[in-house]
Amino acid sequence: MVKEGDKAPDFRSTADDGRTVSLADYRGRNLVLYFYPKANTTGCTHEAVEFSSALEQFRSSKTDVVGCSGDSVEAQAKFKARYKISFPLLADTKFDVIEAYGARRMKTFFGKSFLGIVRSTFWIGPDGKIKKVWEKVTPKGHAAEVLAAIRGS
């Protein structure tokens, strides 16, 4: 797992609109990169809508937001359109970005263990280093928590 102070792993992935998005696209700005298990599920929807609703506040703090899951481009596009999400959603179907950030781990649900995406968030500074990591995120209120951390820095 990537830790605070580490250089953020470079990434390139396809976004919901089919374009390629990379870490280099955000150089010189703060980036909130968050990972979620599955589009159109309750927790993931709460989290995405909250980040989207606060996007102008993030931008006024010179911060961009990008979401990422293992869903397909088509699933991400439908999710984005349905909930009017206003930032890129990465379709990391091969889990390259997810694994580079350590967000794919063993999870347990109803007594069964499986490899899944752990809801987590990484604040990457303008210098490309990890400024803060949130592991095992609770979706409701998380966007406000991240924004408060950025504004308090």
Classify residue 88 as exposed, middle or buried by CB count within 10 Å of its CB (0-12, 13-18, 19+): buried
Residue 105 pLDDT greater than 90, yes or no: no
**How far is it, in rounded angstroms, from Cα 37 to Cα 71?**
9
**Structure token digits, residue 91:** 């379709």
Model pTM greater than 0.85? Answer: yes
Percentage of the chain exceeding pLDDT 70: 99
> pLDDT band for position 153 (50/70/90)?
confident
> pLDDT band for position 96 (50/70/90)?
very high
CATH of domain 27-151: 3.40.30.10
Could you report the per-residue pLDDT of 25-76, keeping only the tens digit for each? 999 999 999 999 999 999 999 999 999 999 999 999 999 999 999 999 999 9
At residue 110, the pLDDT reads 78
Residue 106 pLDDT greater than 90, yes or no: no
DSSP 11-78: -EEEETTS-EEEGGGGTTSEEEEEE-S-TTSHHHHHHHHHHHHTHHHHHHTTEEEEEEES--HHHHHH
Q: Residue 9 gets which letter from DSSP?
A: P
Q: At what angle do helices 42-53 and 142-151 cross, to 10 degrees?
A: 40
Whether 44 is catalytic: yes
At residue 101, the pLDDT reads 97
List the catalytic residue out of 8, 23, 44, 97.
44
**How far is it, in rounded angstroms, from Cα 87 to Cα 7?**
23
104-109 and 112-117 strand pairing: antiparallel
